[in-house]
Amino acid sequence: MQETLSNASTPRKNSFPGRHSLHLNRNAGDRQVCPESRSRWNAAGRAVAIVALSLVPGLFPGTASALPPMGDHYSPRENLESIDIRILESARRTIDIAMYAFTDRALGDVLLKEAGKGVRIRIYRDKTQIHDRGDRMHAFLGQKNIAFRIKGNGPRNIMHLKAYVVDGTILRTGSANWSPVGEGAFHCNRHPVSCRTGRLQQDNNLFLTEDPGQARRFEKTFERLWNRGSNVKDPESFVRDQSQRHSRRRRHEHHRSMY
C-alpha cells in the first residue's frame, strides 16, 4: 500500500515529447503560456482583427474603406444604386445634386434619412422630367434641410446633368440617371428574362473622384444653375401640381379598370 501511494505521488513524465508550450501549474490552478507561443497568438489575433475590420467597414463610417473605389463604375455589371447610396450616406454637412431623371425610391429614401440627420441638401432638376409619373420630388415637399429648384426649360434645352458633390469633397458624375434601370439596380435573380434580353439593362457609367479642383468646378457650375433667373418661380407648387395630376390619373385608371 505504501508503495502504491508513493508511486501515485510521483510526477509522470511527459508522454508527448516536444509539447512544451503549455504547462499546468498545479499550485495556482491556471495555465501559463511560454513567451514564444504568446507572441504567435498575438500576431494571429492582429491578423484576424485586420481582416474583420476590412469586412465590416459600415461599423466605421469615417474610414476610407467605407467608400467604394474612386474612378469609373459600369452598369449593368455593377449596381450603381448601391454605390450612390454608400457615397450619399457618407455625407456630414452638404449634398448638392443636379439630376435629370429621378424615379429611384431607394435613393429618395436615403436623401430623406440624411436630411433627418442634419445634412443640408439642394436638388436641381429638369422641368420636363418632373412630369414623369414616377418622379420622386413630391416626397421632399415641406421637408426640413431639403431645397430644390427647377430649370424653366422645354424639351430641347434640358438640364441633362447626372452629378452631385458630397461635403464639397467627393464628386459623382456619369451617364446614369437616378432610376432603377439607369442604375443597374434590377438584379438577374429578380429579373432573369430581362438579363437575357437586355430589356431592363441600361449601359451606363458612374464616375467618382476626390480631386479638389473637379469638385470646385462642379460647385461653381451648380451655383450658376441654382441662381438662374429663368428657373421655375415656385418649384414647390409646380411639383405639388404634378403630383396631384398623377394621383388623379391613377384614380381614373383604377376606376376604368373596374368596368
Determine contact, residues 221/159, Cβ cutoff 8 Å.
no
Looking at the fold, whether 103 and 208 belong to one and the same domain comes out as yes
Q: How far apart are CA 77 and CA 202, in angstroms?
A: 10
Looking at the fold, whether 235 and 212 belong to one and the same domain comes out as yes
Per-10-residue mean pLDDT of the chain, 259 residues long, equals 45 45 43 52 53 45 68 93 97 98 96 98 97 93 97 96 98 96 72 54 94 98 98 96 76 51
Q: What does the chain come to in residues?
A: 259
Domain assignment present for residue 9? The answer is no
Q: How far apart are CA 108 and CA 32, in angstroms?
A: 58
Sheet holding 204-209, edge to edge: 71-75, 204-209, 170-174, 162-166, 94-99, 120-126, 146-151
Q: Torsion angle of alpha carbons 140, 141, 146, 151, nearest 10°?
A: 90
Q: What is the pLDDT of residue 42?
A: 58
Of 64, 68, 115, the closest CA to residue 87 belongs to 68
Looking at the fold, whether 72 and 181 belong to one and the same domain comes out as yes
Per the structure, the complete domain to which residue 190 belongs is given by 66-257
Of 138, 102, 123, the closest CA to residue 247 belongs to 138
Which CATH number do you get for residue 138?
A: 3.30.870.10
Helix/strand/coil for 124: strand
Determine contact, residues 191/184, Cβ cutoff 8 Å.
no
Looking at the fold, whether 220 and 136 belong to one and the same domain comes out as yes
Which residue among 38, 57, 76 closes a domain?
57
Determine contact, residues 143/239, Cβ cutoff 8 Å.
no
The number of distinct structural domains making up the chain is 2
Q: How far apart are CA 82 and CA 106, in angstroms?
A: 9
Domain assignment present for residue 171? The answer is yes
Looking at the fold, whether 196 and 144 belong to one and the same domain comes out as yes
Q: What is the pLDDT of residue 245?
A: 81
Domain assignment present for residue 89? The answer is yes
> Within 10 Å of residue 176's Cβ, how many Cβ atoms?
27
| Distant-in-sequence, close-in-space partners of 176: CB < 8 Å, separation ≥ 6 | 75, 80, 162, 182, 183, 184, 202, 204, 205, 206
Looking at the fold, whether 42 and 73 belong to one and the same domain comes out as no
